[in-house]
């Protein structure tokens, strides 16, 4: 295939395979190539099918793929990784580049989307040339079905056992291997393949749907059977037992803490559900208590038992956002279009539900050939994303143009803040106000302005004030921006607000 050399192979627990190039000299190139393979994928396919998978991945970087196509493929990946890493690591100056990324990223993605999809078809052809169209098609189907079953059935079912078992199972990857060796259940594999084949192209996904990729190869979808000899057994050989056990141990270490937390929470939730159920027999529950009962009922007794409880909440309060969303979500899962207005009602009441609500409705409409209506929800989500970014900027600092008003907090709420301030000997005075915000004004932003005993020493910030704002912010259970007041205008403005000074 005239593909670049693979320098290192990494085995992990995902259901995926990918080739990544990391330049050792930055923009000058000289890349080192890594092949990452998930053990569950190796368990799900035959040796011949895995060769098809590998040929597809190498096809993206092969010279036969075309230098320009390979360059675009790497560039798309690089831009995505760069933006995501900067955002996650909270690098200074991220917001300087945010506007550029927000402009250039979608523009670059839109112009190269068609090319990126054509790369997938080209990589599939490389795969077919290497092992044959039939094996390549069977590999695509086996990976698609296996990934869906593992993601939607196996792992969720395994994690639900945390509700009753105090510790995680010790060998989940052995269970995955056994499941594929014995063959997936007929109903789950048929259901998974049926849902995969009716999927429509996602406007933002570079991977075409399975049915289009199979049609390009001139093949039909065939249900995968049991893997009598898996790619894992064939390629890994004698080291497989030790590697599988190493992944099991790593997985167990990673989930033990969260598993125990979920188990403890489930036990407490069951007790709470029993208490509220008993209470409901003797007195009427509040709307908040009714919501708790409905959520816990769905978690432990199923969706059907919870629907009527959600409906009872709406009888008490028709604008209850969470209950509207819950019923809308359930209706959409049952292919009922009546769920859309209920989710819209929930989003109108609570802006926090806009991202997940738009994604849910957009996907539902897209799968039912109503692209124009789906586009409306896509645009609403993008507009909400833009406003959230502006709101974050607005809440990061104070400006001269800001308007401060009285907090409206009672003494019981302010008292713990005073106590924390009293533990900081470097604090001279403190003022607490509320900043009027443009975006999401219903979500109050309080500002705690702290005057340190020494604001400057020979023109430099005093060490006593360094980290003070961060320490105090971690102790306050309110949406509060903590600032160390060094500018006279800020101190004067806060002083003018009634009852602003809370500590001296």
Per-position DSSP letters for 14-57, written without gaps between them: SS-EEEEEEETTGGG--EEEEEEEEHHHHHHS-HHHHHHHHHHH
| Token output for 276 | 């509220």
Res 276: pLDDT? 95
Res 114: pLDDT? 73
Kindly provide the b/e burial profile for residues 440-460, where b requires at least 16 CB atoms within 10 angstroms of the residue's own CB: beeebbbbbbbbbeebeeeee
Highest mean pLDDT among 34-43, 391-400, 469-478, 481-490: 34-43
- pTM metric for this prediction: 0.72
Query: What is the arithmetic mean of pLDDT over 181-209?
Result: 82
CA distances from 19 to 60, 76, 123, 135 (A): 9, 14, 13, 21
Split at pLDDT 50, 70, 90, the class of 462 is very low
Res 463: pLDDT? 47
Q: Look at residues 383, 467, 458 and name the one whose alpha carbon lies nearest to residue 424.
A: 467
- List, for residues 244-303, the tens digit of each pLDDT value: 999 999 999 999 999 999 999 999 999 999 999 999 999 999 999 999 999 999 999 889
Q: Which CATH architecture has domain 284-394?
A: Alpha Horseshoe (1.25)
Q: Look at residues 329, 381, 320 and name the one whose alpha carbon lies nearest to residue 355.
A: 381
- List, for residues 76-98, the tens digit of each pLDDT value: 667 766 766 666 655 555 556 66
Distance of CA 459 to the CA centre of its chain: 45
* CATH topology (fold) of 404-503: Alpha-Beta Plaits (3.30.70)
Q: Look at residues 34, 37, 26 and name the one whose alpha carbon lies nearest to residue 6.
A: 34
- Does the CA dihedral 423-427-429-435 come out positive or negative? negative
| Token output for 37 | 């393979």
Rg (CA), the chain: 28
DSSP-H helix ranges across 334-370: 339-349, 354-367
Rounded CA-CA distance 265/282 in Å is: 26
Which is more confidently placed, 437 or 60?
Answer: 437
Percent of the chain's residues with pLDDT above 70: 87
pLDDT above 90 (res 122): no
Report helix, strand or coil for 466.
coil
Per-domain residue ranges for the chain? 8-243, 284-394, 404-503
Identical fold between 284-394 and 404-503: no
């Amino acid at each position: 295939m005239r593909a670049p050399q693979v320098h290192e192979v990494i085995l992990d627990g995902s259901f995926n395979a990918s080739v990544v190039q990391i330049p050792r000299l930055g923009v000058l190139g000289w890349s080192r190539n890594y092949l990452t393979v998930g053990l569950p994928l190796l368990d799900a396919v035959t040796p011949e099918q895995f060769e098809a998978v590998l040929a597809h991945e190498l096809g993206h970087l092969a010279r036969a793929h075309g230098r320009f196509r390979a360059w675009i493929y790497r560039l798309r990946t690089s831009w995505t990784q760069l933006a995501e890493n900067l955002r996650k690591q909270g690098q200074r100056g991220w917001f300087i580049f945010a506007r550029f990324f927000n402009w250039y990223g979608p523009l670059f993605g839109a112009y190269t989307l068609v090319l990126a999809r054509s790369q997938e078809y080209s990589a599939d052809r490389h795969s077919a040339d290497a092992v044959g169209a039939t094996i390549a098609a069977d590999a695509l189907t086996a990976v698609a079905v296996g990934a869906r079953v593992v993601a939607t059935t196996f792992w969720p079912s395994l994690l639900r056992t945390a509700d009753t078992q105090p510790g995680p199972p010790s060998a989940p990857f052995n269970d995955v291997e056994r499941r594929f060796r014995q063959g997936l259940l007929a109903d789950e594999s048929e259901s998974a393949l049926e849902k995969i084949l009716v999927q429509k192209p996602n406007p933002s996904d570079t991977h075409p749907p399975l049915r289009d990729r199979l049609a390009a190869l001139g093949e039909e979808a065939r249900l995968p059977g049991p893997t009598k000899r898996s790619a894992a057994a064939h390629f890994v050989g004698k080291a497989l037992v030790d590697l599988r056990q190493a992944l099991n141990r790593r997985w167990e270490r990673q989930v033990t803490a969260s598993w125990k937390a979920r188990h403890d929470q489930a036990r407490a939730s069951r007790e709470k559900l029993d208490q509220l159920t008993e209470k409901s027999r003797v007195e009427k529950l509040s709307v908040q208590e009714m919501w708790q009962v409905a959520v816990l009922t769905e978690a432990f007794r199923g969706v059907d038992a919870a629907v009527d409880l959600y409906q009872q909440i709406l009888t008490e309060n028709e604008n209850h956002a969470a209950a509207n969303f819950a019923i809308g979500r359930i209706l959409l899962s049952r292919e009922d279009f009546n769920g859309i207005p209920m989710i819209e009602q929930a989003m109108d009441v609570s802006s926090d539900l806009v991202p997940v609500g738009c994604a849910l409705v957009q996907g539902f409409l897209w799968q039912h050939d109503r692209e124009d209506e789906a586009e409306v929800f896509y645009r609403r989500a993008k507009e909400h994303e833009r406003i959230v970014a502006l709101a974050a900027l607005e809440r990061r600092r104070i400006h001269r143009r800001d308007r401060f008003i009285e907090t409206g907090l009672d003494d019981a709420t302010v008292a713990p803040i005073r106590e924390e301030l009293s533990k900081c000997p470097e604090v001279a005075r403190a003022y607490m106000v509320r900043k009027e915000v443009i975006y999401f004004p219903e979500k109050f932003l309080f500002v705690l302005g702290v005057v340190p005993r020494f604001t400057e020493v020979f023109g430099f910030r005093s060490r006593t004030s360094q980290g003070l704002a961060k320490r105090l912010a971690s102790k306050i259970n309110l949406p509060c921006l903590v600032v160390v007041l060094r500018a006279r205008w800020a101190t004067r403005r806060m002083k003018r607000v009634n009852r602003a000074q809370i500590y001296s």
